[in-house]
Amino acid sequence: MKSAWWIVFVGWLATANPGFAVGVKCDAGPNHKPGATLLFPYFEVDLGNPAGRTTLLSVNNVLTTPILARVQIWTDWAIPALGFDLYLLGSDVQTINLRDVLVTGTLPVTGSGFNLDAFPGCSTEPPTQAAGRLPTALLDSLRADLTGKLNALAGGLCAGHSHGDDHARGYITVDVVNRCTGIRAGTEGTPAEVEGDEPYFLDSGNGLAGDVNALWGDLVFVDGAGNAAQGVEAVALWADGSEFTGRTRTFYGRYSAFDGRDNRVPLASDWRARFLNGGAFTGGTDFLVFRDTRSPDVQRVRCGSHPSWYPLPTRLVARDENAVVQSSQPDSTAFGLATQRVSLASLGIPTDFGLLELRLQRWTPTGTGGASRITRYPGWVIPVLTAGGRFSVGVNATAAEIDCFGPP
Amino acid sequence: MKHLCLALLLLLVASTVSPAFAQACPIGHQPGSSLLFPYFEVDTTNPGGLTTLISVNNESNQARLTRVVVWSNWAVPVLAFDLYLKPFDLQTMNLRDVLNGNVPSTGEGADLSGFPFCSSPDFTPVHTNPVFVDNRMLQLRAYLSGVAGPLDTLCAGQFLSDSRARGYITVDVVDECSGLELLAPGEPVVFTPENTAFPYFGPAGGTRIAIEANVLWGDLFYLDPAGNSAQGVEAVPIVADETRFAGPNVYTFYGRYSGFDGRDKRYPLPTLWATRFLNGGAFTGGTDLIVWRDTKSASIARRGCSVGPVWRPLRTSFLTARDEDGGIVTSLTADDSLVPIATQKVSVASIGIGANFGRMQFALAGGPSLENPTEGWVLPIMTASGRFSLDFNATPVNDGCSVSP
């Protein structure tokens, strides 16, 4: 019995460290602390120009013990394009230049030479990623998916929005996981896998994914040709099995009918961001906006059409610096994809300096007393301000509310 | 035996990890009752040189009054003034303009009757710029540059071998006007969070200036047009919770000014930090760290320029730097030179870290067992000389509410 208590105690210490999982408040949202999932809300790589835009990211383990993490690359239609595992030593950091992944098919090689017995599956599908190179066919498929082009290896269908260029776009999630899954191009081993013998999430972190709040990271957009770079921290989504139970909003809730099993803090659906187009920032403002589609749909579709949930709605209100409303767009589709970069100029706002309210929501009149039912499509917003060819900055926008516990 | 085991277990848990049970104090991406702009720098000798831009935004459908306090890097308040913000209003400031004597004039034509003293000419937020000129302006710059000025032989900040003005800024939601105050001999800046005589903070319903209303957000840009460089980050929102922080001996953001009795009700910041560093690849200019920290002292006195504040130096109890393979390349303990003042920009190269790429973790505290922890905020800045640069928030490794003052 004494040894049993000791095991319980040591186990508690291991999970309590570094002390974020207890007493956290959902209404603070993601909050600058390590999480069980990292969201890199947007990436872009110019595949046709080696000196053009690329995206760098880092994944860090805050614990002093090794962890396994699963990197999932998603298209801007929220379709899983590629997943692979990272083994992180205690206090380890792994950096990834997405140009390496998407141009040469080079994946991080981790865990080589280490005893991975603690992680089931790693002996058969180790995170050394088959010597770090993607097979040519898989790489071609990945590029097609992320550039919105026809994927001959996937039934001639498309997995992303076509912007008419050779830029790969999408977003990335990184989850703490309990076992290795290897390199996957479909939904297997992704948060969208809710059925089967090994579902991705089971409550309290007992599925493929775990609930240990161990990850932090950063995200850097570099445009060497344009002499521009911006950086923000990755969005660290903490998990708490006691905070999210039953029908509730969670980050991955859409894949399991919002039953709370992923235990991850949801994002906000109501955002505020400044915009500038002039003064020192002659290049204007772009908005990087990630959205929850609220749909478990991860099916490719015929090129030229769109996923079932498209376009995602937004209520936009733009005010000038005197707080006067200059533009109100209650049914905007400007941020209709799962992730995108949208220029201020394209929004038709008749003022150069001010404040943008982005309500990532659909308001449906109920027909009684002017009331509306609000459906939330939570997200993350990063304004990028540029001075053409000289400098630029990226900052996180501010969430006006998190809406943790209302109806999903 | 079972009861003994249980008792020992509970004792161990309570004594070693009790902070984890404390209610957390997350610093998120939501509005706060105060904003911290952790560091500013202005090259006052070059109009086209480095400056700092800030914005203060009101995320509420009510007009709000806020008090802006400009602090030196010795945490001495040198300038304070009020901003009136309409519903959903925003106010931008170029610190260069402020150091030239031009502060935002707000509230003109508005009904200020809801805010005591705002209609008084002595306290109004409406100003005719410039509000200070000549020697008073030069004295302000001197205070922020760490040198004696035309009106004062004492110093308010650290001299860093140039004439740049440095410090940090706080903005609090307040409910009455306090007017414009500019530090000078015999003219202290009175209406700031340091004031406990005419209390800046206090119980709701009592006499006080600052209130709890989580409606402020902002952003911060470092802009160097001459150097083709800019970085930006959001202001640190300090959330207040009037239902928490019953003292004594509770850490709050402004706790140092009231013996840590919790009266300001504002979440404290973390004391343990982790960040990456790069020196090479695309980032040939290396990495700098901006580090703001609590002095843990109520002192706001000007001091002899070669003497410095009573609390200096502030200690870093440990710093551990690892390369990208996780190997420890540098380990410092009880370091008094790393980040010794209230706010600073430190190059990673100056720390002498034995790797170009990696991550570091450090504790803003007074001893190896993390005695006397000091809250702080950390921003890494990475640059490619003359081409581009960026910054973002470092990652806290603990929660400010998990430590005792």
Interface residue of B12, B30, B91 to substitute, partner A, most A CBs within 10 Å: B30
What pLDDT score was predicted for residue B309?
96
pLDDT at A72 > cutoff 80: yes
Residue B99 has pLDDT above 60, yes or no: yes
A343-357 mean pLDDT: 95
Contact A398 B234 (CB under 8 A): yes
Q: Is B359 on the interface with A (CB under 8 A)?
A: yes
pLDDT tier at A245, thresholds 50, 70, 90:
confident
- pLDDT for B21-58, tens place per residue? 346 787 888 899 999 999 999 999 999 999 999 999 99
pLDDT of B285 over the 50 cut? yes
User: Average model confidence (pLDDT) for chain B?
Assistant: 90
Averaged pLDDT, A2-17? 32
Give percent above pLDDT 90 in chain A. Answer: 69
Which among A93, A357, A390 has CB closest to B359?
A: A93
Is a pLDDT exceeding 70 seen at residue B362? yes
Mean of pLDDT values over A288-299: 96
Beta-sheet strand order (sheet of A228-233): A93-97, A53-61, A215-223, A228-233
User: Cβ contact (<8 Å) for B390 and A385?
Assistant: no
B88–A319 C-beta distance less than 8 A: yes
**What percent of chain A is predicted at pLDDT more than 70?**
91
Which H or E element spans position A2? helix A2-16
Chain A residues inside the 8 Å CB shell of B24: 20, 22-25, 28
Residues A297-302, mean pLDDT to the nearest whole number: 96
- Res. B5: pLDDT tops 50: no
Predicted pLDDT of residue A405: 67
Render pLDDT for B239-252 as a digit per residue (tens, 0 to 9). 999 899 988 999 99
Q: How far is B46 from chain A (nearest CA, A)?
A: 16
Contact B26 A398 (CB under 8 A): no
Which chain B residue lies closest to A62 (C-alpha atoms)? B397
Which chain B residues are within 8 Å of A3, Cβ to Cβ?
none
**Each residue's pLDDT tens digit, A109-149:** 999 889 899 999 998 898 886 667 899 999 999 999 999 99
Tens of pLDDT, residues A87-111:
999 999 999 999 999 999 999 999 9
B230/A393 CB distance under 8 A: yes
**Is 0.80 topped by the overall pTM?**
yes
Please answer yes or no on whether B22 and A23 come within 8 Å at the CB atom: yes
pLDDT tens digits, A222-243 = 988 888 889 999 999 999 888 8
Cβ-Cβ contacts under 8 Å, B2 against chain A: 1
Mean per-residue pLDDT of chain A: 88
Distance (Å, whole) CA A87 – CA A72: 14
Q: How confident is the model at residue A248 (pLDDT cuts 50, 70, 90)?
A: confident
For A73-83, the pLDDT digits (tens) are 999 999 999 99
